[in-house]
């Protein structure tokens, strides 16, 4: 089975060709970083226009790299949401056009499910497993019990962790995108224990997260230091922020592991996915936790942590081989929760409910 995947939910335009033998034959990603950096974040209209301008060429390139024609495809999969709706529409309409012209099945993929199932593409992880999904717009803990079967154990009540990285980077004068820049600054720190920061939700019952107070504490330190920080202060504060996030994530995951094992005493892996999963300090902390808990730890390769089309193609394969596909009147979705039965989030509207920020 060969599937073309298309991803346009935020600021990466991507196309990939993947087989059901877990072979990534092509994986092409065009970053819009230069387009959005001057604004300090993603501008939805700019993102949508860039997808429209570049997607056709990326698909041609992916097909050429894979050495196949459209007649060799078994299906076309595209991110159907959640995301910036203009970009999602571009990807969905392009996939529908290919499917209609070639008589191929069309599969609309939940972007979050693409992240959730990446570990099955890269490591053939068996169900069930515990997933920490951490990105710019999401921070959730989910029991992954099968394709389309997700039970949310915890979510953020305010900021997503990737959003907190971006805002902290801006406060520190590091620029955009925040995650990689904070990590680089933290690696240069000479006194990473110098600044004391709050650990939101640490030790609290349940598995929910909160990062708004942590971001505010960073801002206060910056103001106390005069606003524009010398390199040493900036790097030490970045290291303190990163270490705090890693500690909080590990604490929340430890509680989720206990809940997960109650329902699945046979065990399972601890999987981390999403853009923030590329952070090496966080991966290391979670790896140690998994080893302590007797669980396999799985984190995708760094290039498959951030948004990509290979994960969309793979999620399409997972659904299609179960006999699932979507009609050509599928409507793109700005919101699309993985667990529609999860209780509403007490806090900022939308967080944890499938909003792509």
135 belongs to an annotated ligand binding site: yes
Residue 129 and residue 149 in contact, taking contact as beta carbons nearer than 8 Å: no
27 belongs to an annotated ligand binding site: no
Chain centroid offset of residue 29 CA: 15
133 belongs to an annotated ligand binding site: yes
DSSP string of 59-114, one letter each residue: HHHHHHHHT--GGG-SEEEEEEESS-HHHHHHHHHHHHHHHHHHT--EEEEEHHHH
42 belongs to an annotated ligand binding site: no
117 belongs to an annotated ligand binding site: no
Chain centroid offset of residue 314 CA: 15
Buried/exposed code over 169-179 (b: 16+ C-beta within 10 A; e: otherwise): bbbbebebbbb
3-state helix, strand, coil in the chain (%, to 5): 45, 20, 35
Q: What are phi and psi of 259, to 5 degrees?
A: -65, -40
264 belongs to an annotated ligand binding site: no
56 belongs to an annotated ligand binding site: no
158 belongs to an annotated ligand binding site: no
328 belongs to an annotated ligand binding site: no
307 belongs to an annotated ligand binding site: yes
**Annotated binding site, which residues?**
111, 115, 133-137, 166, 179, 183, 279, 307
Q: Binding site membership for substrate: which residues? A: 133-137, 166, 179, 183, 279
Q: Binding-site residues for Fe cation, please?
A: 111, 115, 307
């Amino acid at each position: 089975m060969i599937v073309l995947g298309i991803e346009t939910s935020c600021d990466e335009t991507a196309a990939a060709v993947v087989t059901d033998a877990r072979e990534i034959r092509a994986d092409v990603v065009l970053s819009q970083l230069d387009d959005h950096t001057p604004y300090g974040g993603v501008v939805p209209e700019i993102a949508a226009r860039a997808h429209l301008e570049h997607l056709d060429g990326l698909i041609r390139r992916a097909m050429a790299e894979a050495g196949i024609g459209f007649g060799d495809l078994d299906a076309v999969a595209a991110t159907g949401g959640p995301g910036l709706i203009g970009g999602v529409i571009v990807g969905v309409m392009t996939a529908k056009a290919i499917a209609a012209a070639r008589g191929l099945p069309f599969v609309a993929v939940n972007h979050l499910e693409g992240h959730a199932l990446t570990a099955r593409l890269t490591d053939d992880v068996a169900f069930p497993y515990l997933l920490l999904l951490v990105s710019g717009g999401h921070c959730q803990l989910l029991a992954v019990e099968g394709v389309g079967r997700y039970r949310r154990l915890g979510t953020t009540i305010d900021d997503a962790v990737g959003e907190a990285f971006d805002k902290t980077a801006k406060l520190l004068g590091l620029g955009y995108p925040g995650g990689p820049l904070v990590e680089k600054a933290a690696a240069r720190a000479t006194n990473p224990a110098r600044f004391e920061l709050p650990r939101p939700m640490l030790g609290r019952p349940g598995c929910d997260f909160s990062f708004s107070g942590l971001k505010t504490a960073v801002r206060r330190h910056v103001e106390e230091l005069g606003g524009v920080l010398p390199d040493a202060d900036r790097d030490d504060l970045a290291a303190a922020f990163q270490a705090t996030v890693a500690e909080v994530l590990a604490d929340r995951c430890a509680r989720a592991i206990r809940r997960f094992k109650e329902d699945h005493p046979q065990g399972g892996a601890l999987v981390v996915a999403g853009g923030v999963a590329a952070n090496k300090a966080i991966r290391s902390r979670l790896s140690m936790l998994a080893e302590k808990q007797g669980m396999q730890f799985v984190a995708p390769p760094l290039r498959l942590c951030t948004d990509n089309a290979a994960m969309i193609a793979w999620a399409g394969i997972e659904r299609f081989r179960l006999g699932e596909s979507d009609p050509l009147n599928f409507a793109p979705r700005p919101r699309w929760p993985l667990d529609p039965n999860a209780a509403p989030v007490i806090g900022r509207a939308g967080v944890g409910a499938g909003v792509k920020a």
